Structure 1
Amino acid sequence: MARERHLAFRLYSSHVRMAGLDIAIHPMIISFVLVFVLAVALTLHARKGHDMADPRAFFAARGQLGTLLYFMLAVGETYSIGTVLGFPAGIAAHGTMVALWFVGYILLAFPVGYVLYPRLWEAGRRTGAITLPDLFRSHFGSRALERLVTCILLVLMLPLGAMQFIGLSDVMAHLAPAVPTMAATGAAGAVTFGFVLVAGLRAPATVAILKDALMLCTIAAVAASAGLHWTHATSGSMQAAFGQNHPISARDLCFVISTIMVQSVAFCIAPQSAAAVFSARDPASIRRAQIAMPLYMVLFPLLFLIAGFAVTHGIGPANNAFLGSANLLLPDWAFGIVLAATALTAIVWLGAVCLSIAALVARNLFPGLDRDVQKRVGLTTIAGYLVLSILGAAFRNSLLTDLNTLFYLALVQLVPSVLALVRNQRPSVPSVMLGLAGGLSVAMLLRSASWTTYGVNPGLIGVLVNAAILRVTGRVATSN
């Protein structure tokens, strides 16, 4: 019955008169466009009263975001299209173990951020930093270390944009299947660039309000519809779909727990997370936002239910679990809103990440540029990053996947020196560089050689080696 009703909805379309012509406009297209018109209006409102020519206002909102806007920006970076599409897809493809580590690392990141972010903000305010490499340069007094950290972050961020455009290509395939994928994702990239150009960091922070409201409502609507239309004539049971082929071993649990530890801490020092922290008005705003963030965890049981519906009702492939279920269960106009909310989820994330990468290039890779040149270099960097991400999504291959898995593995190696920084301790610059080199080498060697290490995440072993090198070789002297 659900499939028959869905087909009946597909036969309906709206007709409007334009220049004497009878033009059919699909309800799905109408609702999608209306959502984006509203997003454009919010972006234009966000720039009022703010000087977007000022690089600090453009890249970091001049550190003026209060609790609400900081909260929306931080949430927008936490729940990307990888959550909305990737979480149910991962469960549909690999079972319940995916849910364990995915939910675990996000949940643990909130208390880690509650403790770390205010200290990071205070260090940034003390040094005038708006990027993580700014802090390294100011605290350790080394341009070489600043550039090293910048290069590490830039390399790690390259594949993440492609992952967002892979999700956007799935959205556009439902919205306009006749449009070539490259053209559709190119249009999404142009929209992202336009949002950022108009209002800088305030654009993703403001549009995130609309995105989050729609995301929560649409996921709840799809989950409710899945529950209401759950039939006994399914292609398999939940237990059979998600049952493990073998018992969970101690090695499996060790890997999950160590991965949760690595990713929760590394997430808090990602370039976009640091940029969001520096944009906050004060530490109290950050703490209030962190307290409220676990409320968003309600998304995961709803997405789990949707994944179960997709698996048991034969909706495939796995990466189509969310959109395929929504397409089957909802009327066209509602499905258009689902597509718009999913697209905005990627665009908000891309906007914040583009700005953090632009700041890394304009301020840290090429320091000393005047403010006009900084913004021009930043915009050029954003355009280049979007183009590379679109190409990466179009020519997705195993290299892209491998680079993505290295993100947290390598990013966590910055944690020992960041902890020293926020505690106002000063290891020597050679010790910091040696620790980074040692941690990265060990983590990469363990991963590439596929050595078991009893299931412990190679990134955790690398960061322990990194910290040990800092302890042994560095003369840690607390600054007055």
Structure 2
Amino acid sequence: MIATVFAVVMALSIGVALAARRGGTGKGAVATLVAGRALPSRLIFFLAVGEIYSIGTMLGFPGGIYAKGASYGIWFIGYILAGYVLGYFLAPLVWRAGKAYDAVTVADVMYGHYRNRLLERLTAVSFVLALVPWAIFQFIGLQTVLTGLGIPVTRLEAIVGAGVIAFVYVAASGMRSTAFVAIVKDVFMLLGIMLAGIAAVIAAKGVPGVFAVVETTPRLATVSGAGLVFAMTTIFLQSLQFYLTLPAQFLFSARSEAGVKKSVIWMPLYMLMYPLLVFAAYYGLQTRPGLHNADSVFLEVTRELAPDWIVGLVAAGAGLAGVLVLAGNALMFSGVLTRNILPKRSQAAAQSRLKPIMAAFLVGTAALTTFASSIMLTFLNLALSLTAQLVPAWLGVLFFRKLRAVPLAVGLIAGCTTVAFLYFSHAAVGGVVNSGLIAAAVNAAVAAGMSALYAGKPVDHEIPIVRRAREILSPARKTVQPESVPATGEGRS
């Protein structure tokens, strides 16, 4: 029954992806990568939350609470809540930047604003460095789901199957098909979490029973010392980068700024799932102490309490969450590679390379997964720390005119190097203060210090987005000429 429900839902998602090909706007790289910039607010809503609520929501979040207690729950929930507040103001500005520079990728924005190919390529490389561990995170989660819920597939079959389905999503119609699949994913993910969380409460004879373990282990409900410092620094950094990094390309797909604002307003409703995940995690601490893999606690609780059809729905929701993010990662990877890293070609040539590159990304990250650790939140933190290094350059695009391209490029290198050092050396400070914030502080200090010493005045195209609203939103008043930033990346070497 579990495997049957899982297979039926995955087949449904493939059917939705293929059906989404009808009604698309235009052809070419822009249609594939950002759906022709024509998605309405309701699809942006599902697409953006599809990236935010990945398989880590169902596995990594309760697994973190199981292993570390309340501190992981605080930073995970806290940065998303704070990110929505900041996102109401920042997300529309990100869309404006995409419109102003005819951008498909974040690296396009950096080139359009700063006119510097070094910064453009460094931005693209930092995206690649973040997308690889982020994809590994999804593959690991999918393996954990399928084995934890008793679905009879081998490790290799799980990896290959996830890669194939993700490729079908993006090959169908790119970002547009991904947006429609996100609707299916959200329905089954929310339904699975709701049913499993309610089952945990019923089994514990009420919410007080769920948290009975806290009476004997108070550390599970308190946060202090290093845990509190880590939680607060993580909330600050990740809420700031929330819409400035990986989700930015999804915002470029929106039809209008009003559509972006409307979608952000309703996104906090998804936070209603977190109490249910907390219930499952604390119930697991009572009934399944000492699990070898903490990330499997939600699955263990589900299998213990729920009938097979609910277990199948949970498996399907988690599977769709992971595969959908893999598909989005493949889209972003192919975009930065064809537009910002590889030699520029005609629009037709660029379009012809997208599908092979997406397939290569999925195959490559699947292969790397076989050598990866099973600690999911480690990969999540690495990916987020790397993308956080784009924040100083984004602040220059949106607000600060005096930040210059070369200093920002040097700062980006310094920030990514610091992330790598703290991650691979296991430096003690990285376990107290979020390592991404330490690296971003180094990055910003280098960029600001060098910009202060940099000769020359900013030129007109470096005017921040907040000061160019009328020009961007009213085409008749534009001062940036269309030929200044080629739509397909042609002419840049």
Measured against the shorter chain, the TM-score band is 0.7 to 0.9
Distance 1:187 1:126, change over 3 A: same
Q: Secondary structure at the match of 1:328?
A: helix
Distance 1:83 1:128, change over 3 A: same
Q: Which residue of 1 aligns with 2:354?
A: 378
The answer to whether the aligner puts 1:477 opposite 2:435 as a matched pair is no
Q: Which residue of 2 aligns with 1:111?
A: 85
Distance 1:114 1:338, change over 3 A: same
Deviation of 1:471 after TM superposition, in Å, equals: 3.0
Q: Spell out, residue by residue over 1:42-97, the C-alpha distance to the aligned partner (whole angstroms, 9 max, x if none).
A: 21221102257411111100111111100000000010001111111111122111
CA contact (8 A) 2:140 2:376 kept: no
The answer to whether the aligner puts 1:275 opposite 2:256 as a matched pair is no
Matched residue type, 1:405: N
Q: Secondary structure at the match of 2:103?
A: coil
Q: Matches of 2:317 and 2:141 in 1, distance apart?
A: 12
Q: Spell out, residue by residue over 1:221-255, the C-alpha distance to the aligned partner (whole angstroms, 9 max, x if none).
A: 111111222269x9994215753189744443222
Distance 1:70 1:438, change over 3 A: same
CA RMSD of aligned residues (A): 2.7
Pick one of 438, 455, 468 that aligns with 1:461: 438
Matched residue type, 1:187: G
Superposed counterparts of 1:411-422, under 5 Å: 411-422=387-398
Q: Matches of 1:403 and 1:300 in 2, distance apart?
A: 21
Matched residue type, 1:301: P
Superposed counterparts of 1:340-379, under 5 Å: 340-379=316-355
CA contact (8 A) 1:159 1:392 kept: no
Superposed counterparts of 1:154-165, under 5 Å: 154-165=128-139
Distance 1:212 1:123, change over 3 A: same
Q: Matches of 2:158 and 2:130 in 1, distance apart?
A: 26
Q: Matches of 2:203 and 2:374 in 1, distance apart?
A: 38
Q: Matches of 2:165 and 2:39 in 1, distance apart?
A: 23
Q: Matches of 2:166 and 2:146 in 1, distance apart?
A: 15
Deviation of 1:35 after TM superposition, in Å, equals: 1.5
Q: Matches of 1:414 and 1:94 in 2, distance apart?
A: 29
Q: Which residue of 2 aligns with 1:452?
A: 429
Pick one of 405, 429, 445 that aligns with 2:381: 405
CA contact (8 A) 1:327 1:335 kept: yes
Q: Matches of 2:170 and 2:218 in 1, distance apart?
A: 44
Distance 1:443 1:382, change over 3 A: closer
Deviation of 1:380 after TM superposition, in Å, equals: 1.8
Show structure 1 runs of 5+ residues with no match: 1-26
Q: Secondary structure at the match of 1:425?
A: coil
Bigger mean CA offset, 435-444 vs 293-302: 435-444
Distance 1:441 1:163, change over 3 A: closer
Matched residue type, 1:88: P
Q: Which residue of 2 aligns with 1:5?
A: none
CA contact (8 A) 2:69 2:220 kept: no
Q: Which residue of 2 aligns with 1:239?
A: 214
Deviation of 1:353 after TM superposition, in Å, equals: 1.5
The answer to whether the aligner puts 1:171 opposite 2:152 as a matched pair is no
Pick one of 295, 298, 311 that aligns with 2:272: 298
Bigger mean CA offset, 375-384 vs 167-176: 167-176
Q: Which residue of 2 aligns with 1:436?
A: 412
Matched residue type, 2:197: A
Pick one of 259, 263, 285 that aligns with 1:285: 259
Deviation of 1:172 after TM superposition, in Å, equals: 2.2
Q: Matches of 2:141 and 2:421 in 1, distance apart?
A: 31
Q: Matches of 2:321 and 2:117 in 1, distance apart?
A: 36
Deviation of 1:462 after TM superposition, in Å, equals: 3.2
Q: Which residue of 2 aligns with 1:122?
A: 96
TM-score between the two structures when normalised by the length of structure 2: 0.84
The answer to whether the aligner puts 1:388 opposite 2:369 as a matched pair is no
Q: Spell out, residue by residue over 1:321-343, the C-alpha distance to the aligned partner (whole angstroms, 9 max, x if none).
A: 11222222222222212211110
Q: Which residue of 1 aligns with 2:42?
A: 68
Show structure 2 runs of 5+ residues with no match: 464-493
